[in-house]
Amino acid sequence: MAYEKELELALLAVQRASLLTKSVFSSHSKGTLTKSDASPVTIGDFGAQALIIASIKHAFPEDEVVGEEDAGDLRANDSLRDLVWELVQASKLEDGAAEDRIGGPIKSKDAMLNALDQGDSAGGRKGRIWALDPIDGTKGFLRGGQYAVCLALMVDGVPTVGVLGCPNLPVDDKAPLDSSIGADADSGEGKGVLFSAVKGEGAQSRPLGKGALQEAQKISMSPLTNISEATFCESVESGHSNHGDQANIAQRLGITKPSVRMDSQAKYASIARGAGDLYLRLPSGKAYEEKIWDHAAGVVIVREAGGEVTDAYGKPLDFGIGRTLKENKGIVGAPKAVFPKVIEVVREVLNAKA
Ligand SMILES: Nc1ncnc2c1ncn2[C@@H]1O[C@H](COP(=O)(O)O)[C@@H](O)[C@H]1OP(=O)(O)O
Ligand SMILES: [Mg+2]
Ligand SMILES: [Mg+2]
Ligand SMILES: [Mg+2]
């Protein structure tokens, strides 16, 4: 199998970081800060990024990383840095051999800060670059709703290996999807999934677990024939995508089921396993460049599960131009068979506004 070593590394690194985020959720202090763009970041985001980058650099020292966070806030705040350091030290896989394969514990506070700062690649079309979102959907995470730990390897600008850790999604791939999924799910019994895919090799899910990797099963998008029966997924935040346009598109497609709102790339995972069918992310109106770490892993997983993902105009997503998808507007994901119909209707709705 291609990229076997990269996939195992990504799965174990995302597993360890996902366990770290779960421990933050169940502790009192989440060390929440507000970033310059008004979005929240927690000690979970910093800890997960440091652990994952340390694992990548252990296995593939030459690879670059485009990561969402950096160590700036921790270098300026001793008590926050100490909280993250405690958290990182406490986060180990139960299986010693697995822990060793991702480099074992980070050696020192300085090494932790340096790892965090190594997510500073400018991205690009050449070579091996990892895209990392240590907690995608931080607002969902804080609420006990959906969030995801997201890691993808891009080779020459093409997402090639993708892993999503979703601690609050049900293990059962066919568990019914309704609006309760996005709200206050909390990680309880039967929750926690690792999704993965390698380009050309299909997509899989397995229980998140605590140590060595559990057995995986193949996932695929639902064989939707009647689009009016589709379930569509969208953001919780109305500022991240246009709920009005999305409702309009659903209506034109004859969809009557209410949308399923959830934070993060858990939306990509949910359509890839056939629990939902469509992912609609229409531009919210404000000038916003989508970040590559918010999509790269989910896109490989959906494509390998039998889906297509483009921007809202049907244009291919270009992950090779830097840290953002600046040549694209919005996102549409659907099973291949119905994708042309969905894009046709999305275009109609966008053109009617132009
Ligand atoms: N105006 C915006 N439009 C689209 N996405 C946004 C916007 N602002 C932030 N985001 C990003 O969308 C992602 C969450 O998407 P969703 O709503 O589907 O869960 C987050 O990573 C968030 O970034 P950030 O991590 O900086 O908050
Ligand atoms: Mg964020
Ligand atoms: Mg994100
Ligand atoms: Mg994030």
CATH number at residue 125: 3.30.540.10
Q: Which of 219, 247, 270 is the last residue of a domain?
A: 219
The domain total for the chain is 2
- What are the tens digits of pLDDT across the range 291-342? 999 999 999 999 999 999 999 999 999 999 999 999 999 999 999 999 999 9
- What are the tens digits of pLDDT across the range 93-135? 999 999 999 999 999 999 999 999 999 999 999 999 999 999 9
Alpha carbon 348 to its chain's center:
29
- What is the average per-residue pLDDT within 142-162? 97
Q: Which domain holds residue 315?
A: 227-353
Q: Is 146 in the pocket of ligand 1 (CB under 6 A)?
A: no
Ligand nearest to the CA of 39: 1
Pick the closest to residue 45 from 27, 66, 18 (CA basis).
Answer: 18
The more confidently predicted of residues 343 and 26 is 343
SS3 content of the chain, % helix, strand, coil (to 5): 35, 20, 40
Instruction: Kindly give the distance from the C-alpha atom of residue 139 to the centroid of ligand 1, in angstroms, as a whole number.
Output: 10
| 135 known member of a binding site | yes
pLDDT of residue 45: 97
One domain for residues 79 and 212: yes
Q: Is 42 one of the annotated active-site residues of the chain?
A: no
Contacts of 50 (CB under 8 A, 6+ apart): 84, 88, 106, 112, 113, 115, 116
One domain for residues 51 and 157: yes
With a cut of 70, say whether residue 87 has pLDDT above it.
yes
One domain for residues 114 and 45: yes
pLDDT of residue 353: 86
With a cut of 70, say whether residue 343 has pLDDT above it.
yes
| 110 known member of a binding site | no
- What is the average per-residue pLDDT within 202-226? 95
- At 20 the three-state DSSP class reads helix
pLDDT of residue 178: 83
Phi, psi of 167 (to 5 degrees): -65, -20
Q: Which residue has the tokens 């916003």?
A: 288
pTM above 0.95, yes or no: yes
Residue 285 sits in a domain of what CATH number? 3.40.190.80
One domain for residues 160 and 47: yes
One domain for residues 295 and 192: no
Q: Whose CA is nearest to atom 22 of ligand 1?
A: 137
Q: Which of 195, 219, 243 is the last residue of a domain?
A: 219
**Dist. CA 19–CA 161, nearest whole Å:** 21
Instruction: Kindly give the distance from the C-alpha atom of residue 140 to the centroid of ligand 2, in angstroms, as a whole number.
Output: 11
Q: Which residues are 198's β-sheet partners?
A: 161
One domain for residues 53 and 182: yes
pLDDT of residue 187: 60
- Ligand 4 being an ion, which residues bring their Cβ within 5 A of it? 68, 133, 135-136
Instruction: Kindly give the distance from the C-alpha atom of residue 347 to the centroid of ligand 4, in angstroms, as a whole number.
Output: 29
One domain for residues 281 and 194: no
**Residue of 45, 117, 173, 263 with catalytic role:** 45
- How many other CB atoms are found less than 10 A from the CB of residue 354? 4
One domain for residues 56 and 99: yes
**Cα angle for residues 61, 64, 67 (degrees, 5° grid):** 120
Q: Is 39 in the pocket of ligand 1 (CB under 6 A)?
A: yes
Q: Which of 219, 253, 281 is the last residue of a domain?
A: 219
With a cut of 70, say whether residue 184 has pLDDT above it.
no
The more confidently predicted of residues 112 and 287 is 112
One domain for residues 208 and 231: no
Ligand 1 pocket mutation, candidates 46, 73, 238, 240, criterion most atoms within 8 A of CB: 240
**Residue of 21, 42, 117, 138 with catalytic role:** 138
Q: Which of 26-35, 100-109, 201-210, 253-262 has the lowest mean pLDDT?
A: 26-35
One domain for residues 189 and 304: no
One domain for residues 212 and 257: no
One domain for residues 233 and 206: no
- What is the average per-residue pLDDT within 74-96? 96
pLDDT of residue 190: 84
Phi, psi of 325 (to 5 degrees): -95, 60
Q: Is 32 one of the annotated active-site residues of the chain?
A: no
- At 120 the three-state DSSP class reads strand
**CA gyration radius for the chain?**
19
Count CA atoms within 13 Å of residue 206 on its CB side.
20
